[in-house]
Amino acid sequence: MKNIFEAIEHKPVQIVVGLFIFHIVITCMMFWLANSIFLSHLHNGQGFWHFAKDSSLYHEEAIYIKNILNQGNWSNWDFSSIFNHPHVTWIAFVYWLFEEETPLLFEAVNSVTWVTSVVLIYIATRIICGPNVRVASFAVLFLFFPSILLSSTQLLKDPFYVLGICFVIFGWAAIFREHSNLKGALAIIIGFLLITSIRSYVTYIVFSIFLICTLVFLIRKKIAAVPALLMLMGISVISFQYNFFGSLPALPEKKSLTSHEVTKRSTDNTGEESTSSFGDIALSLWRAAGEHSIENLNHKDGALKEKLHLKQIELLKNNNFSGASGYINFLNKGIAIRLSIMRYGFSEVNGSANSKIDEMVQFMNIRELFSYFPRALQIGFLSPFPPLWVTPGTETGHIGRTIAGFETLIMYFIWVGFFSAVFMRMHILKPLAPVLIFSGVIIVLLGFVVPNVGAIYRMRQGLLIPFFMMGVYGLSLLLPQIKSAMSKYGRPNSL
């Protein structure tokens, strides 16, 4: 083991070449198996695995684009507006370049994507946690998890999302260092572009968190102004390209009122809120926060779920709000009900999956949202739970569930290390604070919106990387203390 760490330290070029060879070999093995009779229940025998079934869709889209390129139509290079899958353009380019429609050829891109992710995390860990080769080496093992590694051998978009997260992790680590802060700013911009191009719905969240954290760091003089402002300019341009402000819930429209309506509304507001005591106002806000409340967490009636969904759509059409309680009602509809509608859509898409969880849960107001928060936290960070580790999955069978169980068990130990790092070296988390906050928020939202453990497991993979890094570092701090305590109390008493 010592020789391996020495090689990583003193022969970085050879290690990187070895990583490329390793990934290419794994990809070739996966492609050969997917075209063979072996493990036929996990693939279609035509090169595509069931756990990566979207690859077949991207393959067909790439062939369509390749045929257009063969006709000499290069004027519209970006076909992402047609298919809403930006990486398909690059699959098509590889097919066009080699004049062959074989998924294996995309390894020319996939290998670079995966190896770059490994290198970025290794360097970022060295920057944040110090020149400890062991910690940095173990930190990159997350990218060797079977679920991550095997996904990176397919035509999926997830590896690019993971690469984007690795870029922002490296970027925030580097932007705190004076001699590399411009590189850090550029890395954050590149990572932000990758993340938002693959999953545009997180643009508003990432932009807001990065903006707030940057302003806090500037006020506290933790980072230099020039690279920070350049970074903010870059992510702002990307954000407005996606017009993410237009996707936010619209505020209720103001309409002109007659004098009678104005007088009546003024009287109503005065009677209900303006002249009320603080306790009365708080009670009215509490009631508003629980409006349209439902008792359905343990309900199994599918017809009720459909009725609630239709009721939610109807409620969203009513935008008549006034006063503080009206604002609470607006939050009920703008947040709780919208999240519930998204949850309903996911449950319909994944209706045939056998890893559904809390399928009947829906939210009608803020109070129900808050009451479900601990459960969303539990599902987002700790699922799949042990009972699912030994049951067959819809797409992956027993093999996939066993792999997921093994990876989740490792993450349980990593969480111990993460909280150890928080209590023992909290200051070291500062450079990763923006990424940790962003990842944590998205993971919790997945717990709210996605009633399927398998889907959550796939969608949160890259988001766990910063927690894994800090968890490994925390374990490196914790284990020596455990050994010291065991040695101390295990020593026989001397007479």
* Spans of all domains in the chain: 1-111
Average pLDDT over all residues of the chain: 83
Q: 390: pLDDT confidence band, cut at 50, 70 and 90?
A: confident
Which of 18-22, 342-346, 447-451 is most confident? 18-22
Three-state SS letters, 135-203? HHHHHHHHHHCHHHHHHCCCCCCHHHHHHHHHHHHHHHHHHCCHHHHHHHHHHHHHHHHHHHHHCHHHH
Q: What is the mean pLDDT of residues 370-394?
A: 91
More reliable by pLDDT, 289 or 132: 132
CB 223 within 8 A of CB 175: yes
More reliable by pLDDT, 15 or 329: 15
Q: 436: pLDDT confidence band, cut at 50, 70 and 90?
A: very high
Residue 312 confidence (pLDDT): 59
Q: What is the mean pLDDT of residues 369-381?
A: 94
Residue 473 has pLDDT above 60, yes or no: yes
More reliable by pLDDT, 491 or 166: 166
CB 362 within 8 A of CB 308: yes
Three-state SS letters, the chain? CHHHHHHHHHCHHHHHHHHHHHHHHHHHHHHHHHCCCCCHHHECCCCCEHHHCHHHHHHHHHHHHHHHHHCCCCCCCCCHHHHCCCCHHHHHHHHHHHCCCCHHHHHHHHHHHHHHHHHHHHHHHHHHHCCCHHHHHHHHHHHHCHHHHHHCCCCCCHHHHHHHHHHHHHHHHHHCCHHHHHHHHHHHHHHHHHHHHHCHHHHHHHHHHHHHHHHHHHHCCCCCHHHHHHHHHHHHHHHHHCCHHHHCCCCCCCCCCCHHHHHHHHHHHHHHHHCCCHHHHHHHHHHHHCCCCCCCCCCCCHHHHHHHHHHHHHHHCCCCCCHHHHHHHHHHHHHHHHHHHHHHHHHHHCCCCCCECCCCCCCCCHHHHHHHHHHHHHHHHHCCCHHHHCCCECCCHHHHHHHHHHHHHHHHHHHHHHHHHHHHCHHHHHHHHHHHHHHHHHHHHHHHHCCEHHHHHHHCCHHHHHHHHHHHHHHHHHHHHHHHHHHHHHCCCCC
Residue 231 confidence (pLDDT): 96
Residues near 166 by beta carbon (within 8 Å), at least 6 away in sequence: 116, 117, 120, 121, 124, 191, 462, 465
More reliable by pLDDT, 269 or 148: 148
Q: What is the pLDDT of residues 104-154, one digit of tens each?
A: 999 999 999 999 999 999 999 999 998 888 999 999 999 999 999 999 999
Give the Cα separation of 491 and 488 in Å (integer). Answer: 6
Q: 70: pLDDT confidence band, cut at 50, 70 and 90?
A: confident
Residue 116 confidence (pLDDT): 98
Q: 471: pLDDT confidence band, cut at 50, 70 and 90?
A: very high
CB 7 within 8 A of CB 18: no
Residue 227 confidence (pLDDT): 95
Q: What is the mean pLDDT of residues 265-278?
A: 46
Residue 211 has pLDDT above 80, yes or no: yes
How many CB atoms are located within 10 Å of the residue 40 CB?
11
Residue 76 confidence (pLDDT): 59
Residue 427 has pLDDT above 50, yes or no: yes
Q: 249: pLDDT confidence band, cut at 50, 70 and 90?
A: very low
Distances in Å between the Cα of 168 and the Cα atoms of 126, 186, 237 are: 15, 9, 17
Q: 495: pLDDT confidence band, cut at 50, 70 and 90?
A: very low
Alpha-carbon torsion, ordered 28, 32, 35, 39, to 10 deg: -110
Residue 294 has pLDDT above 80, yes or no: no
Q: What is the mean pLDDT of residues 406-416?
A: 96
Residue 16 confidence (pLDDT): 95
Residue 393 confidence (pLDDT): 78
Give the Cα separation of 348 and 361 in Å (integer). Answer: 13
Residue 264 has pLDDT above 90, yes or no: no
Burial 448-486, CB ≥16 within 10 A → b, else e: bbbbbbbbbbbbbbbbbbbbbbbbbbbbbbbeeeeeeee
Q: What is the pLDDT of residues 295-322, one digit of tens each?
A: 544 444 555 556 555 665 665 566 555 5
Give the Cα separation of 201 and 461 in Å (integer). Answer: 17
Q: What is the pLDDT of residues 327-362, one digit of tens each?
A: 677 677 778 888 888 888 888 777 667 788 888 888
Q: Which two tokens stand for residue 167?
A: 């870029």
Q: What is the pLDDT of residues 150-179, one digit of tens each?
A: 999 999 999 999 999 999 999 999 999 888
Q: Longest C-alpha distance within the chain, in Å? A: 97
Dihedral pair phi/psi, residue 43, rounded to 5° = -145, 175
